[in-house]
Structure 1
C-alpha cells in the first residue's frame, strides 16, 4: 500500500465573482506529488475505504450528471485533487451546508492542480479542506479516521463563523430577488443592496427597526402599559423588588401568576401558573438572574401560547406552543425519561440551528422548579404511566397561520404598531386562535424585537412559511433591488485615466461616485487613498458607503485571480483590450486564451439590463459579444469596421470616429437624435475617448452635456 500524500501549496479566499464561479470560494493549489502515478483504480482497497467513510459520495453526479457519477470515476481511475474536491464538498454537506460546487484542473506543472470549492465562510472552508486532506490520506493508507470528531470541529466553526438560520433564511429571500448581499462582520450583521440603496439586517432586526421600539419591547412593564393604553388586552401585573414583594403582588392580583424577567427572551427565567408562596419566592431569583432591569409578576392567562410574527404590520406566520410532558415506565429516572422522550426530538440541539434546546433538569432552573413543584427531582424514578409536566413555555412548534381569526390578527398588528416594530414576535395566550377575542381568555403577554424565525421556517407540524419573503418585500418594495450603477473598466495603457474622467462626467450630472483605480480611492470627490486602489477592498469600501450612488472600478486580471470582485453584477463593463500579462504566471496564466478566460469575467457579470462597451478593433475581444447578458456597444476608430456595421444593421449600438468627430450609431442613437460630437484636436488616446462617449451614452448622460464634457477635454 502506498504512503504517497498530497500537499496544499497555497490557498486563496476569493470573496466574490472570479474565474470559477459567481459566488465566494476557496482556491487551493494542490501538489499530488507521486500520487500522479497512482490514480484511484491503482490504490488497492481505496474505493471501499472511501465509500465506507463517506457513503454520501454516492449522490455526487460529477461528469455523467447523475447520482453515482463521481464514484464511477473513482472506480475507473481519477486523481487525488479531483477526489479531494468531492471529499471537501461532502464534508460541507455532512456539516449541514449546501455548497455543491467544485472543480479540479491541471496546471502547467506536472502533478500540480488548482482545486476550488464553494464555501460560505473562509474559516469553515479551510476546516473542511484540512479535514478532507486527512480523510483522503486515511482512505489511501488504510489508517484510522474519526469522521465524527472532524465533523464536530467543522460544526463548531459553522456555529462560530456561520450565519444563523434566521439570517440565512432572509438572505435566501434576498437572493431570489437578486438583491446584492454583503456580510459586514463575523456574526449576523448583513448589508442588502449597495451604496445609498442599501438596507441592513441583524438577524430579524432591520434598518427600519427603531432603537426606541426595541427599547420599549425590552422593557416588558413599559411595553405592557403602552399596549393597555391603546386597548390591547394584557395581563395585570407589576414590578417585584424582592421575593417577598413578588408574593405580595401575587396576593393582590390573585393567583395563579407568572414570574418573569422584565427584559428576558427565549422563555429564560419564566415560571408559569404559580399558586404557592414558596414557588413564587423561588421563581423570583430565577427571573432576576436572567434580567438586567428587574422582575415582573403577572396574572397567569389560561390558554395556549402562540407566537404571531408580524412584518410591516401584517401577520406573516403563527405558531402554536405545546406543553412538554414525559410518561413514566416505573424504571427510568426523570432525566432518563427526558433523554428518551424529549431530547431525541431532532428539533432539539445546543446550537442556534435548532429551534428547541435539550432538557437538563438540573441545569435548567425553570424546569427544575416545575418538576420540584410536582414533588420530583432529576433522579426520581417515575411510576409506570405517570405523566410529569416538564416545560410550560416550550417554543411554539405547530404552524396555525391559516387559522388565526381576523380580529386576533388585528390585535397583534396593533401591538406591533404601538411598540413601533417593523418585525415583531407577538407572544399571545388565548384559548382559541380561530375564534373572536370576545368571550375567551386572551392577552398579549410580550412583544419581541428581532424574533427568531426558525419555528416558522421548520415547524414540527403544519406548513413551513417563507417569512423571509415579506421581510425583504418590506425593505425593498416593488421592483427595488438595492442596486446602484456599478461600472467596471479594463484594458491597457490606452485606457489610462478613464476612471477619473468618467467620474467627472458622472459627478457633473449629480452622481455621488466612488472610484477605485490605479490613481487611488476617491469617494464623492474626496481622496481617501492616493495609493493604487484597483482592488477588492477599495471597491467594497465604496459599496458599503451610504453616501454613494455609483461605483466606478478598474478591474485587473490579478484582482480577479487573487481576490475575486466585490460586486456581484455590473451595470456597465468597459473593456478596450486584454491588457498586459506581466506577473500573471504567478497564477499559471501563460497563454492568451487563458488571459481571455480571466478577463471575460467583467463581461460575464453584466446585468441583462446593462451594457458592455467593447473595442471592436481588438480581434481578441470579439467573442465577448456572445458572453454578455446585456447590450453590447462596439467602439471603433473607423466607421467601416465590418463588425460594427453588422452589429448596427441588426439594431445594435456603436460609437465610432469619423471625420474628426465621434459618431453614435444605431436605431437608439437615431431615436435620441445623438448628433456627432466634433473634437477640437485628435485625442491622445482615441480608444479612451470613444469609451468615454459610449459609457456616457450607456449611463444616459444627456447628449448636450456629454458633448460639452468631451469637447472640454478634447
Structure 2
C-alpha cells in the first residue's frame, strides 16, 4: 500500500459542501483483497482502535462497520473509517467519509471531513501508518502519536474568542475567511469586508491599541477625562519601585507597564521587600513597572461594544479549597483535572500553573506547596483574577450600576476603542464608584470573551453576536455580487463579458481568468488564475464591489471552491475535455464536477444553464436558486417549457437576444452589433454573449446597461486577450486563439469558414494530458479544415514523450484528408508560427492555437516590424 497524495479541500467541493481531506492511495497488490482474508488484521485493528465498533457505516446501525469487516471490505474503506475515528479520539466529532476508485486497478481517493485542519491531516497520515503497520506486523505506538497530534492541532485551533466570532458570523450568513494560521478573520467580501483578530476590530487604530497597551498612558488619558483611576508611578528599577510605593502609600500594586492576561501582576503589597520581589517578577516581562495604589474591593470585567455595556463578570482569582487531606500542590493537580480546564485558551477555564508569582503570594501568606489546608479553607493562588492564570468568572451583567456603565463606555470612547474590556475594582458593583471608592484599574483592547460565554456561574452572554452585529448592523451589506463561471469552453470570454457589463453598471470588478487576476482595469497577477486561491484574492480586495470568477475543473476537483455561495452560477457547456484525469472518465462525471458551481448558489440567486447542451441539462436538477436557461433557438423545447413553468430564459429570435418570461419579451441587443461575434459569425461568442446576458439579468442589471457593454466589448488583446484576436500582418491576417480541445477548434473553424479567405493555415497543438482519441480527433478536424498545417507541441508535455502528441495529430490530419506534403511538424510553437507567416500569401489567414501567448505575440510583433522595415527600404529604393 502506498500513499500517493494528500490534499486539503477547504471550500465546498465535489465530495461535500463542507471542508474535506483527500488521501489518494495505491492499494497495489491488495486492491481486491478484503481485510478478512488478511490474517489477524480485523482483530488487531479493533483491539487498537475499539471506537471503530461504534461506527454505523452504510449499515445504519452501531456496529455496522464491524459487520462490513466481517463480511469483507477493502483497505480504502478501512482507511476512511480509521481517519475519522482518530479525529473522534482527539475530540473532533467527524462522521463524513467516502472511498472512491480513482484510476488504474488499485488507486483510490479516500475522502473524509475534518474540524481542525492539522488534526485532520495528521489523522489521515496516522491512519495510513496504522494500516501499513498492521499489514507488516509492526507495533503501532498510538498514544504518543495522538498526543503529539493533539498538541500540534491545539496550536492551529482558533482561540475561544475568535471561534465564537466565526460561529456567530456564519450563523448570520456572513462569509468568513481565515487569514493565515492565527486568529485574524475577514468577515464579508470585497468592499464590505471587515477584519477582526480575536475581538480587536479594524475600527480600532494602532494609536488606540498602543494607548490601551501602555497602562500608564491609558490611566493618564482617563484621569484627564475625569474617570476615577488609581494613583500611579512608573519605576525603571526595584529601588524606584520602592520609592514610588512610599510616595503613593501602602498597600500598592506592581505590574508590567504593557502586560496582558495578568502576567507578572502582584497585588496588595504592604512593604518594601514585597515590592522589590514583585518588581523582579515584572522584569521577566518588561524592564518597566507600574506602581499603583491598591484599590480595595472585588474585581470585575465590564465589556463595552460600541455604545453599550454588553456583559460584566466578577473575576475570582485562581484558588483551591482544602479537604484536610491533600497538600496545596496536590489540590492544584486535582483541580487541573477538571474537564473545563485546558491549556491556554482551548477550554472555558485555564489550568493553574505553579510559578514565581504564585510562590511569592504563598510566601506572603506564610504558606508553601507542601502545606495541607483545613477542610473548606480557601487558598488563593493568585491575587490577579485573569482566566488565563486560572481564575474563574461569575456573570453580574444585570447588577452593574448605570453610573459604572456610563463610566466604562466613556473610558472606551476616551481611548477610542469600539470593543473594550474595562477592569473595575469596587466593593459593590451595584453602587456608583464615588460611593465605594472604587476605580477603573485598566482598559484592554482585544479583551477575551470566554468568561462571558462560559461563566462558572450566572447567565452566559453571547458577546460574539454583539460584536458581529456592531460590525454589520441590521441592513448593512456584508457581501458583494458574485458570479462563478465554469464549463469546458467559453469560460474566459463569458467571464470577461460579464465583467464588462458590471463595469458599465458602475462596479469595480474583481475577475479571475485563465489570463490573470484583474481588479478594475489592472491585471495584478498574470497566469492561469482559475483556482480557489485566486478567487480569495479577489474577495479579499477592499476596492472590489463585484466579482466574476472563472472556475476551472482542476481547482474544483483538487481544492474546492474559493468562495462560499455565488449570486449567479454559470455553466457555458460541457464537452469532451480533461477526461481520464483525476478519475473523471465520462462526460456525465465531468458534468457532475462542473455542477458544483450551480449547487453553490444562494437560495435567491440564479443558476444559468445552456439549454442547447445535453450535459448541462443533465445536471439541471442539481442547481440551486432560480434557473435561467439560455439558447440560440427560441423554439428550443426546454426553453419553451421553462417559460410556461414561469422561469426565465435568454434566447435569440431574428438575430436579437431577448430576456423572456411568460409575461414579457425584453429585447437586449442584436448579435450583429456585438463586436466579439464578428457580426454574428463567431457562434461560440454568440453563445458566450447569451450566457453573459443571463448572468447579468440574474444580478438585476438593466437591459440598456447590458446593451452598452456588449456593443462596446471588442475581441481584441485589450478586452479579451488570447480569444480570437485578429492581427493584420503584411497582406494576410493572423488569428491567436486558446482553443485546446475538439469543440474549441470546431467553433473557431466554423467562424473562419464564414470569412472570405484565400487559404487557411493552421498552427495546431493539444495539451498532452488529453486522451489519445481526443488528440486524434483534433487532428482529423484540422485535416478536414486547413489548407496547410504546422503541427507543434506544448513545452509542458504533461507526461508525454517528445513528439508523441505531434505524431497523433499528424495521423489525425492525414485521416481527415490533409495532403501529407502540406503538413509540417515543428515542435516549438514560435518557430512553427514564424514558418506559417513566411509562407502566407495575400488574403490568407494563419490561425495559431497557442500555449504561450507571450511568445506568440513576440513572433508576430517581430514579423510586423520586419515587414514594415522591408516596405520602407523598398520605398526608399524606388525613390
What is the aligned counterpart of 2:235 among 240, 247, 268? 240
From the superposition, tell whether residues 76 and 565 of structure 1 become closer, same or farther in structure 2 (CA, over 3 Å): same
Aligned with 2:586 (options 565, 582, 591): 591
Give the Cα–Cα distance (whole angstroms) in 2 for the partners of residues 633 and 655 of structure 1.
7
Count the aligned residue pairs.
701
CA distance in 1, matches of 2:636, 2:543: 42
**Cα shift at 1:426:** 1.6
Q: 1:324 to 1:658 in 2, by over 3 A?
A: closer
1:553 has 2:549 as partner:
yes
2:312 is aligned, of 309, 315, 318, to 318
Report deviation, 1:491. 2.6
Matched, 1:688 2:688: yes
In structure 2, the residue matched to 1:664 is 659
Picking from 471, 494, 504, the partner of 1:498 is 494
Match of 2:640 in 1: 645
Q: How do residues 193-592 of structure 1 correspond to structure 2 at under 5 angstroms?
A: 193-291=188-286, 294-326=288-320, 333-340=327-334, 342-361=335-354, 364-378=355-369, 380-382=370-372, 384-385=374-375, 388-394=379-385, 395=387, 396-437=392-433, 439-480=435-476, 482-494=478-490, 497-582=493-578, 584-592=579-587
Q: Report the more deviating stretch, 253-262 or 345-354.
A: 345-354
Partner of 2:85 in structure 1? Answer: 90
Question: What is the SS of the residue equivalent to 1:593?
Answer: helix
Kindly tell me: are residues 649 and 270 of structure 1, through their superposed partners in 2, closer, same or farther at Cα, counting changes over 3 Å? same
Residue 266 to residue 617, structure 1, CA distance change in 2 (3 Å): same
1:195–1:543 contact (8 Å) kept in structure 2: yes
CA contact (8 A) 2:497 2:710 kept: no
CA displacement, residues 46-69 of structure 1 (integer Å, 9 cap, x when unaligned): 555444444444554432555544
TM-score by length of structure 1 reads 0.91
SS at match of 1:183: strand
What is the CA-CA distance between 1:139 and the residue it aligns to?
5.9
Q: Which moved more, 1:264-273 or 1:611-620?
A: 611-620
> SS of 1:514's equivalent?
strand
Shift of 1:326: 3.8
Aligned residue for 1:700? 700
| Larger Rg computed on CA atoms | 2
Deviation at 1:322, TM superposition (A): 1.8
Matches of 1:530 and 1:273, distance apart in 2: 63
CA offset at residue 515 of structure 1?
1.8
SS of the residue 1:217 aligns to: helix
> Counterpart of 1:3?
none
Q: 2: CA distance between counterparts of 1:433 and 1:135? A: 57
- Deviation, structure 1 residue 438: 5.4
What is the distance in 2 between the residues matched to 1:482 and 1:659?
Answer: 42
Q: What is residue 24 of structure 1 aligned with on the other side? A: 19
* Cα distance change, pair 143–709 in 1 and its aligned pair in 2 (3 A): closer
d(CA) in 2 for partners of 1:121, 1:388 = 38
- The superposition leaves residues 153-197 of structure 1 with CA deviations (integer Å, 9 ceiling, x where unpaired) of 112221333322221221111111222222221211221112111
Q: Distance in 2 between matches of 1:492 and 1:69?
A: 41
Query: 1:586 Cα deviation (Å)?
Result: 2.7
Q: Distance in 1 between matches of 2:460 and 2:69?
A: 39
Q: 1:472 to 1:99 in 2, by over 3 A?
A: farther
**CA deviation vs aligned residue, 1:88-129 (integer Å, no higher than 9, x gap):** 122223323344322212345434321112235654432111
Unaligned runs of 5+ in 2: 674-678, 715-879
Partner of 2:436, secondary structure, is: coil
Counterparts in 2 of 1:45 and 1:316: CA distance versus 1, 3 Å: farther
Q: Distance in 2 between matches of 1:68 and 1:422?
A: 53
In structure 2, distance between residues paired with 1:639 and 1:34: 56
8 Å Cα contact 1:664-1:676 kept in structure 2: no
SS, match of residue 435 in structure 2: coil
Q: Contact conserved, 2:514 with 2:530, CA < 8 A, in 1?
A: yes
Displacement after TM superposition at 1:314 (Å): 2.2
Tell me if the contact between 1:495 and 1:687 (Cα under 8 Å) persists in the aligned partners: no
Q: Which moved more, 1:402-411 or 1:423-432?
A: 402-411
Q: RMSD between aligned alpha carbons?
A: 2.7
Give the distance between the partners of 2:346 and 2:694, measured in 1 at CA: 50
Instruction: Decide whether the 8 Å contact of 2:303 with 2:422 is kept in 1.
Output: yes
d(CA) in 2 for partners of 1:90, 1:189: 30
State TM-score, norm by structure 2: 0.75
Cross-structure match for 1:130: 125
Q: C-alpha deviations, 1:674-713, integer Å up to 9, x for none?
A: 5664634324122112122222322333222322333445
Q: Pick closer, same or farther for the CA change 1:99–1:78 going to 2, 3 Å.
A: same
Distance in 2, Cα, partners of 1:698 & 1:337:
65
Q: Determine helix, strand or coil for the equivalent of 1:439.
A: helix
Q: Secondary structure at the match of 2:302?
A: strand
